[in-house]
Structure formats: structure tokens, C-alpha cells
């Protein structure tokens, strides 16, 4: 379902095609758990490495943190707010901090160093990686998880047809270059061409 949604987004949402695009979904691929991202995909489920780097990597220090709020200190499970390093997860007494998923940005001071939200708490998220031929990877703690699942060293996996209200997915997108950027690249190329032409004439 997650890669069908990615296909729908990849195809501009208007075509209605959910079986091709970022992924080619076939009966054989579903049964064999062998579907992978197509070349040229613009909207897709994150790979395990993409998810991990977005969650834990800090480009300023060129280092990885243990938790997604840019820290090695475990987050505090709490209701949404502006307190740093908090998340929607199971508190030590086993009671969830929230009764379900929350809006993106609800923990406004707890984003990852790259600016992503809710990679600890909210829902555990499917990633593309195939695990042991029969399962797919899952990253991050959910609102029903304890903090152990939030550690960068943790990795979950489930059968691809497993469904649970605390498991979702995160899509990544390759943005289209804007007009100003394309114009700048074009002008730069034109300048280089003129420079080469002048050198050739001298």
C-alpha cells in the first residue's frame, strides 16, 4: 500500500495509476517480496539509509546521534508541545503519551538535525529494505513503543502485508528544479561556451 501511494504521488495524483511509476508492482513481485525502486523515481518510500541519515545525521558536526532530536540523550515521552527532545511514545509506566498519531511539527523543538519531524514517536515507518527475503524493514519508535525502539541502533521488520495503526510510512521526493535555477544553469553554460569560443579564436 505504501509503494502504491508513492506511485500515485509520482504520477501526479491525477492518472490514477498505482501499479507503475516509482515502483512496478506485479503479482510475482508481491509474492516474492522483490519489488524495488525504479530508476527515475521522483517520489518514493525512503531506503533504510535515507531514513537513517535524515533522522540521525548532523551535517554541521559530520556525526550521527543516538536519537532523532540531534542528541544522545533519550527523549522524554510527553504530549505535544515546544519542549526540546520530547516525543509521542510509551512512558516508563507503559502508558502512551498520546492516544494515537499527532500532526507533523506538533513537537516543534524536537526535529532532527535535517529538519524532519516525528521520526521518534508517532508511527514506526516502513522503509524499502528487504530483510531475510520475506520481510521489509521498519524504522523508528511509534506512539505505542518504548524508547528502546527509538535508538539509532534499532531496526524492526515485518511481513509486507502486516498492518497496525502504529505503523505508517514516510515518502521522500526529488524536487523539480525551479525556473530561476534552470535559468542560472543555462546562463552559466552559455558563459562557459562563449569563453571557450573566445579562447579558440585567439
Instruction: Yes or no: say if 118 and 54 are a contact pair by the CB < 8 Å rule.
Output: no
Sorted by sequence, the CB contacts under 8 Å of residue 116 that are 6+ apart come out as: 54, 55, 68, 170
CA atoms within 13 A on the CB side of 67: 22
Mean pLDDT of the chain: 87
pLDDT bin (cut points 50, 70, 90) of residue 187 is low
Give the mean pLDDT of 92-121.
90
Instruction: Yes or no: say if 47 and 55 are a contact pair by the CB < 8 Å rule.
Output: no
Three-state DSSP class for 27? helix
Q: What pTM was estimated for this model as a whole?
A: 0.83
| 23 vs 179: CA distance, rounded Å | 28
pLDDT tops 70 at residue 135: yes
pLDDT tops 50 at residue 149: yes
pLDDT digits (tens, 9 = 90+) for 30-80: 999 999 999 999 999 999 999 999 999 999 999 999 999 999 999 999 999
Three-state DSSP class for 19? coil
The DSSP-derived string for 131-185 is: ETTTEEEEES--TTS-GGGGSTT--EEE-TT---TTEEE-EEE-PPPPHHHHHHH
What is the pLDDT, as a whole number, of residue 172?
95
Amino acid at each position: 500500500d505504501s509503494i502504491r501511494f508513492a506511485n500515485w504521488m509520482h504520477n501526479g495524483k491525477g492518472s490514477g495509476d498505482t501499479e507503475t511509476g516509482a515502483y512496478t508492482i506485479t503479482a510475482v513481485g508481491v509474492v516474492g517480496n522483490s519489488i524495488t525502486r525504479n530508476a527515475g523515481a521522483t517520489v518514493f518510500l525512503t531506503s533504510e539509509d535515507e531514513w537513517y541519515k535524515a533522522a540521525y545525521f548532523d551535517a554541521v558536526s559530520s556525526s550521527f546521534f543516538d536519537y532523532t532530536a540531534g542528541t544522545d540523550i533519550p527523549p522524554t515521552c510527553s504530549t505535544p508541545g515546544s519542549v526540546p527532545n520530547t516525543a509521542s511514545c510509551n512512558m516508563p509506566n507503559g502508558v502512551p503519551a498520546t492516544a494515537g498519531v499527532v500532526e507533523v511539527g506538533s513537537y516543534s523543538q524536537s526535529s532532527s538535525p535535517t529538519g524532519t519531524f516525528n521520526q521518534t514517536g508517532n508511527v514506526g515507518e516502513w522503509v524499502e529494505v528487504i530483510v531475510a527475503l520475506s520481510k521489509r524493514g521498519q524504522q523508528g519508535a511509534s506512539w505505542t513503543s518504548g524508547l528502546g525502539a527509538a535508538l539509532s541502533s534499532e531496526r524492526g521488520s515485518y511481513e509486507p502485508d502486516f498492518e497496525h495503526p502504529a505503523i505508517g510510512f514516510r515518502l521522500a521526493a526529488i524536487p523539480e528544479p525551479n525556473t530561476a535555477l534552470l535559468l542560472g544553469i543555462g546562463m552559466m553554460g552559455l558563459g562557459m561556451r562563449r569563453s571557450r569560443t573566445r579562447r579558440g579564436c585567439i
